[in-house]
Amino acid sequence: MAKIIYTHTDEAPLLATYSFLPIVSAYAAKAGVDVETRDISLSGRILAQFGLVDDALAELGELATTPEANIIKLPNISASIPQLKAAIKELQKQGHDIPDYPENPQSDAEKDARAKYDKVKGSAVNPVLREGNSDRRAPASVKNYAKAHPHRMGAWSSDSKTNVATMGEHDFRSNEKSVVLESDDTLRIELEAVDGTTTVLKDGIKVLAGEVVDGTYMDVAALRRFLTEQVARAKAEGVLFSAHLKATMMKVSDPIIFGHVVQAFLPTLFEQYGEQLRAAGISPNDGLGALLNAVDSLPEGEAIKAAVQQGLADGPALAMVDSDKGITNLHVPSDVIIDASMPAMIRTSGHMWGPDGEEADTLAVIPDSSYAGVYQTVIDDCRANGAFDPATMGSVPNVGLMAKAAEEYGSHDKTFEIPAAGTVRVVNSAGDVLMKHDVQPGDIWRACQTKDEPIRDWVKLAVTRARASSTPAVFWLDETRAHDANLIAKVDEYLKDHDTDGLTIEIMAPAEATAYSLERIRRGEDTISVTGNVLRDYNTDLFPILELGTSAKMLSVVPLMNGGGLFETGAGGSAPKHVQQLVKENYLRWDSLGEFFALVPSLELYAEQAGTPGAKVLAAALDRATGTFLEQDKSPTRRVGGIDNRGSHFYLALYWAQELANQTEDADLAAAFKPLAERLAAEEETIVAELNGVQGSPADIGGYYRPDDEKASAVMRPSATLNEALASL
């Protein structure tokens, strides 16, 4: 039986769901549309690992492989270790019987617990649900609104000292090797140490004919030299030092790299106290914030804190996450996420915030050089040509290769911090060595897989989008990179399967593709970026943040390869700050526009799946209502006193009811919604007063990672008048 699954996730998107989903459910029920929820929040996934709730993520993973899939997926926490530990602590306080996170598991029980928690951390959701490739773009209504009401862009100076620093050698990109499998096989990854012993790092890796398998490593000695040089460079140039990683999605490699950044920035601290910190189980990988909290229990705690402060004083000025609270770029690995932090910096004149609470030019340290050139190209363009103009600039929609855990984001279970000097080999079932790397202790080695079927589907989707929108499409692939060279051969081959007459389809290395797209953007022209999984993530934040001021207003459709649909609702990078504001002053600034957009194609798919014409009427009415919502500027205002997320939901409900009452395709639906439309219009002043009247004082939602349903619902639905009107349906 057809149904729409609306996911119950985390932070601001979850709080918004408490307000918006009752509206969706009430309207959908009138049209015979079945809407259900599934809990894929971080807390829900933790509890499912220990059998305390149903495993909703596994259920949806199965559903995503079927033609019946119709899933609306809101942003969820991709948990770093500090976030995971905080969620565990909260769940334990709420009475859930789960173990602590074992740092160094010894017993079988600890090893079992660690294995369960490892399944939850980082990007645990997306690889399970993404059984298709990504089609992500700004809806015309959003783009038109941004042109009519351009967001503020910081001015750029031609003498800006902001730059990207990247390794360029001895990193993942430069050490990469790649093979295409001729037939189905089973691979293993092994380490032959210099003493002759062989350790199997990973066995039983199933691969299919045509699959691309990559192996690479980061030379940690070179990384540490590089980082030390960049700390000195930032100080010499008088710019802020900042590191930009993805410790959430690259959940094995990037926390380790982050730890090396912390050590490089505070070398004296780790020379003096590194042994004591290690003995106490305090890891720089968890960030400076966790370290400062943990040292309270050590005899040398005060001395260590003093050494931290001295190190901060001696080094270059460190970019801040929150200068008022003293939270630095190095406090929490998941606080500075590259795809959100770099566009925000570029939008703000190439500045980040310094310890003095002022903006300043910045040295953005991105150790691996695979995609760092994209950001340097944008910075160089802004330095030469000034800030972009949202009122006139073009757009860069994206077609992203992500199905079946493609590329780097599928590398977690094949990423290792090397324990001993030797050679890492990837070996097939016949004993043939497909690739090998000589490594040293501490090097970070990883393998990735990209199946052939998703690559074929990606090429098809690119051609489809290029033709549908009459827009040039550029594959961002670099022939000098091993993985990309294999993809280029496949793209060249699979493009022959499609009619490309009259289309402009190019293949360019990422930096070159960026320059080409920027040149077109400044002329007001659109260019589709056709990218791999990580660049999909980066580009679908970079360009929307420059064009629209946010990436939360994007339409993100994932046509699943077996016929269903996954509809994603925008990025959640700002979600934590919104929750903090709600708890402090009962005001939620989260914009649910992404949910409004996702619901339209979901309802259209439901109409096909269930043969329910009312679903199509709902979708068309919602699309028109969203246009009115944008024209009337009913997104949340910037501060307490105006409408917030809850008020924006009321106006969407009002405009949607009016559209349903006035449409002529379904007389029964029109009759059902006419009284509601009249009632909401008549009670507008009362409802807005009830929604806004609660603002300004603290709100109790009963938990950050697992709010209390009753408390959160009461906070997010404070208008009795609106609640009664919805119930009258």
Q: Is 448 helix (H, G, I), strand (E, B) or coil?
A: strand
Residues 166-176: what's their mean pLDDT? Answer: 98
The distance of Cα 316 from the centroid of its chain, to the nearest Å, equals: 29
Beta bridge partners of 505: 473
Q: Is 310 helix (H, G, I), strand (E, B) or coil?
A: helix
pLDDT at 552 exceeding the cut of 80 = no
HSE toward the beta carbon, residue 71, CA cutoff 13 A:
36
Phi and psi angles of residue 363, each rounded to the nearest 5 degrees, phi first: -95, 110
361 Cβ contact partners less than 8 Å away, ≥ 6 residues apart: 160, 161, 162, 239, 240, 350, 351
Residues 509-526: what's their mean pLDDT? Answer: 98
What does the pLDDT read at residue 242? 97
CA distances from 228 to 268, 329, 343, 514 (A): 12, 16, 25, 29
Contact in structure between 348 and 338 (CB atoms under 8 Å): no
Q: Which of 132, 107, 120 lies closest to 53, judged by CA?
A: 120
Residues 431-452: what's their mean pLDDT? Answer: 98
CA distance 316 to 244: 16
Q: What is the 3-state secondary structure (H, E, C) of 598-649?
A: HHHHHHHHHHHHHCCHHHHHHHHHHHHHHHHHHHCCCCCCCCECECCHHHHH
pLDDT at 59 exceeding the cut of 70 = yes
CA distance 660 to 127: 37
Phi and psi angles of residue 446, each rounded to the nearest 5 degrees, phi first: -145, 155
CA distances from 40 to 58, 341, 532 (A): 9, 26, 25
CA distance 181 to 373: 30
Give one word for 341, left, alpha or beta, with left for phi > 0 and alpha for psi -120 to 50. Answer: alpha
- pLDDT class for 638, splitting at 50, 70, 90? confident
What does the pLDDT read at residue 335? 85
Phi and psi angles of residue 306, each rounded to the nearest 5 degrees, phi first: -65, -40
Residue with tokens 């700390």: 231
Q: Is 74 helix (H, G, I), strand (E, B) or coil?
A: coil
CA distance 448 to 459: 20
Residue with tokens 């992404």: 594
Of the listed ranges 1-5, 136-140, 255-259, the least confidently predicted one is 136-140
CA distances from 193 to 177, 198, 279, 419, 423 (A): 20, 6, 26, 9, 6
CA distance 493 to 501: 16
pLDDT digits (tens, 9 = 90+) for 288-299: 999 999 888 888
Q: Is 38 helix (H, G, I), strand (E, B) or coil?
A: strand
Q: Which of 225, 170, 173, 217 lies closest to 443, judged by CA?
A: 217
Residues 226-253: what's their mean pLDDT? Answer: 95
Phi and psi angles of residue 444, each rounded to the nearest 5 degrees, phi first: -110, 115
CA distance 592 to 74: 10
Q: How many CB atoms lie within 10 A of CB 268?
A: 13
CA angle 154, 160, 166 (to 5 degrees): 105
CA distance 125 to 13: 15
User: 345: which 2 tokens?
Assistant: 């910096």
What does the pLDDT read at residue 545? 92
pLDDT digits (tens, 9 = 90+) for 450-464: 999 999 999 999 999
Helices (H), 248-326: 253-265, 267-279, 288-294, 301-314
CA distance 121 to 252: 10
CA distance 563 to 64: 9
CA distance 212 to 669: 51
Contact in structure between 251 and 121 (CB atoms under 8 Å): yes
468 Cβ contact partners less than 8 Å away, ≥ 6 residues apart: none
- pLDDT class for 571, splitting at 50, 70, 90? low
Phi and psi angles of residue 173, each rounded to the nearest 5 degrees, phi first: -65, -45
Q: How many CB atoms lie within 10 A of CB 438?
A: 11
Residues 193-208: what's their mean pLDDT? Answer: 96
DSSP 8-state code for residue 260:
H
pLDDT digits (tens, 9 = 90+) for 377-387: 999 999 999 99
Q: Which of 273, 271, 231, 261 lies closest to 333, judged by CA?
A: 261
Contact in structure between 214 and 176 (CB atoms under 8 Å): yes
CA distances from 456 to 65, 80, 147, 484, 498 (A): 17, 33, 36, 15, 11
Cα radius of gyration (the chain): 26
Residues 353-363: what's their mean pLDDT? Answer: 96
Q: Is 243 helix (H, G, I), strand (E, B) or coil?
A: strand
Residues 72-85: what's their mean pLDDT? Answer: 90
The distance of Cα 326 from the centroid of its chain, to the nearest Å, equals: 25
pLDDT at 409 exceeding the cut of 90 = no
The distance of Cα 686 from the centroid of its chain, to the nearest Å, equals: 38
The H or E element containing residue 689 is: helix 684-693
Q: How many CB atoms lie within 10 A of CB 471?
A: 20
Contact in structure between 359 and 349 (CB atoms under 8 Å): yes
Percent of the chain residues past pLDDT 90, beyond the cut: 85
CA distance 456 to 450: 11
CA distance 503 to 180: 29
pLDDT digits (tens, 9 = 90+) for 670-684: 999 999 999 999 999
pLDDT at 348 exceeding the cut of 90 = yes
Phi and psi angles of residue 621, each rounded to the nearest 5 degrees, phi first: -65, -40
User: 351: which 2 tokens?
Assistant: 């500045």
pLDDT digits (tens, 9 = 90+) for 99-118: 999 988 999 999 999 999 98
CA distance 65 to 61: 7
pLDDT at 726 exceeding the cut of 80 = yes
What does the pLDDT read at residue 410? 86
Residues 145-164: what's their mean pLDDT? Answer: 93
Residues 167-190: what's their mean pLDDT? Answer: 98
- pLDDT class for 572, splitting at 50, 70, 90? low
Amino acid at 509: A
Residue with tokens 């009830």: 690
CA distances from 650 to 23, 642, 685 (A): 9, 13, 11
What does the pLDDT read at residue 123? 76
Q: Would you give the end-to-end CA distance of the chain in angstroms?
A: 24
What does the pLDDT read at residue 575? 66
97 Cβ contact partners less than 8 Å away, ≥ 6 residues apart: 50, 52
Amino acid at 269: L
What does the pLDDT read at residue 449? 97
What does the pLDDT read at residue 235? 98
What does the pLDDT read at residue 529? 98
Q: In this predicted model, which residue has the larger pLDDT, 395 or 122?
A: 395
Amino acid at 10: D
Contact in structure between 317 and 354 (CB atoms under 8 Å): yes
pLDDT at 184 exceeding the cut of 80 = yes
Phi and psi angles of residue 254, each rounded to the nearest 5 degrees, phi first: -70, -35
pLDDT at 37 exceeding the cut of 70 = yes
pLDDT at 219 exceeding the cut of 70 = yes
